Amino acid sequence: MRTVPGPTDHVVVVGAGLAGLSATLHLLGAGRRVTVLERAAEPGGRCGRLTLGGYRIDTGPTVLTMPELVEDALAAVGATLGEHLDLVPLHPAYRARFADGSTLDVHTDPEAMAAEVRRLAGPREEDGYRRLRAWLTRLYRVQADTFIGANFDSPLDLLTPRLARLVALGGFGRLDAAVGRFLRDPRLRRVFTFQSLYAGLAPHRALAAYAVIAYMDTVAGVYFPRGGMHALPRALAAAATGAGAEIRYGRTATALERRGDRIIAVRTADGDRLPCDAVVLTPDLPAAYRLLGGRPRRPFPVRWSPSAVVLHTGSTGSWPDLAHHTISFGTAWRRTFAEITRHGRLMSDPSLLVSTPTLTEPGLAPVGRQLHYVLAPAPNLATGPIDWSRLGPAYRDELVRTLERRSLPGLGAAIDAEYLVTPADWAAAGHPAGTPFSAAHTFAQTGPFRPANLVAGTSNAVLAGCGTTPGVGIPPVLISGRLAAQRITGPVAARANAGAIR
């Protein structure tokens, strides 16, 4: 594994999101002095917080899996998960509602889930689920250390015995077909393949290897932090400062000062100059490359993931059919993915994620109120250059009507606070192509082919975050911080953290 040469005593980390905080903790644990620059007034990055009319709204991810990665980052500085975070396991992890009116509670306990599958689709599908679960577990174990949790210097690094095992498991086939080997019921196939959209691809186009996301959701379990998802970056930041990191909020990195191929200082918008021995950059890829003074050459331009419209609502209503996470599936499936990924149009029959965190923690809303997060996949601005200033309000009304027809009657009249986020808003926040999900996980943007965390032309700058390896989502982003730290600290830190994602 290539590492940063020369002294690495003081590291400047740009960005106090999950990737930057993970990198900071692992660097501290390896004895480095760390200064973090964060342009916002608090930690979190994409995992932010908005207070609106007494509602405490998480503006970023709503699903937390693989908490052992959080524990691993905290353990790097001698802290424990219980000291900093109170995680609630969600049962069910999801509730799926289908267009025919049927429902399925997704449990991580194998017997509870097998019983649900049998109730919905019969004993043959129950047997298929048990075999699918075993396959997902094997797939994850093959990938965990070698593909997800490893730094790549070359595509040749893939040539290990585990690659042969991944091929034998069908990891390089297509996700929908792979799950179809176990499950015939189209409703169940959707439950175990919709996660590919997190990776920026339709299930029939995504590699079967990305079924590991379904493993994280449906086998490893889904959790919710007390205080909301924003409690996660707050906990990591508290542990980092407690271990000696200096986090400077309200400071925007604007330039990197060079001497030859080394970054020797980071300059900020308010005139500060921070000398450093190495730098970890966590902004989106275009912003990181601008700081570095150029982007690396690639055979093809980066392909960006689809985006999303998110409607945050506070309401006076209550709907007993909702779970903490409810997936409302439409009738259409493959067509709707083509609409957002290829044709640049909104889903004509959308499948929606509705998160209602107040079912787990009522204190996130005023007494007697509910907080909802409605996510509708949408084309990014490169695929679909939609005028969101005009369409946004109309699409908001369409989402409300769709949910009222399906399972939330009276939603519109019950809303007393709301906040709409469109791809135009993501673009205004600096996300390329108006998507918060960064580079899609096509084959050409996966593993060693994904934008690398070491950038040609600099010897001591390392990237972390969802645009680089291993990819998008809370678990990969936390891993990216650890991988960035290992590029600086070398194999000693790698050995110390070995096995963290098993």
pLDDT tens figures, 452-501 = 999 989 999 999 999 999 999 999 999 999 999 999 998 654 433 433 33
Phi first, then psi: what are they for 472, rounded to 5°? -95, 145
Give strand pairing partners of 49.
58
Domain 10-51+61-87+229-302+442-489: which topology?
A: FAD/NAD(P)-binding domain (3.50.50)
pLDDT of residue 158: 79
Per DSSP bridges, beta strands 370-378 and 223-225 are unpaired
Ordered by start, the domain boundaries in the chain are 10-51+61-87+229-302+442-489, 109-220, 304-434
C-alpha dist (Å) from residue 171 to 165, 168, 177, 210, 455: 9, 7, 11, 8, 29
The chain-wide mean pLDDT, for the chain, equals: 94
pLDDT tens figures, 88-118 = 999 999 999 999 999 999 999 999 999 999 9
pLDDT of residue 296: 85
List of residues 6+ apart from 370 with CB closer than 8 A: 314, 315, 316, 317, 318, 356, 358, 359
Q: For residues 88 and 495, what is the distance between their CA atoms, to the nearest angstrom?
A: 30
Strand, helix or coil for residue 87: strand
pLDDT tens figures, 171-186 = 999 999 999 999 999 9
pLDDT of residue 497: 40
Whose tokens are 């982003």? That residue is: 477
pLDDT tens figures, 282-322 = 999 999 999 999 888 888 889 999 999 999 999 999 999 99
Among residues 219, 232, 222, 224, the alpha carbon closest in space to that of 144 is found at: 219
Question: For the residues of 405-472, what is the DSSP string, one character each?
Answer: HHT-TTHHHHEEEEEEE-HHHHHHTT-GGG-TT-B---GGGSGGGSPPSB-TT-SSEEE-STTSSS-S
Question: For the residues of 49-63, what is the DSSP string, one character each?
Answer: EEEETTEEEE-S---
For the segment 384-397, the average pLDDT, to the nearest whole number, is 96
pLDDT of residue 160: 81
CB 358 within 8 A of CB 369: yes
For the segment 320-336, the average pLDDT, to the nearest whole number, is 95
Q: For residues 116 and 106, what is the distance between their CA atoms, to the nearest angstrom?
A: 8
pLDDT tens figures, 18-41 = 999 999 999 999 999 999 999 999
pLDDT tens figures, 246-273 = 999 999 999 999 999 999 999 999 999 9
CB 236 within 8 A of CB 74: yes
Task: Tell me the two tokens of residue 323.
Answer: 């779970």
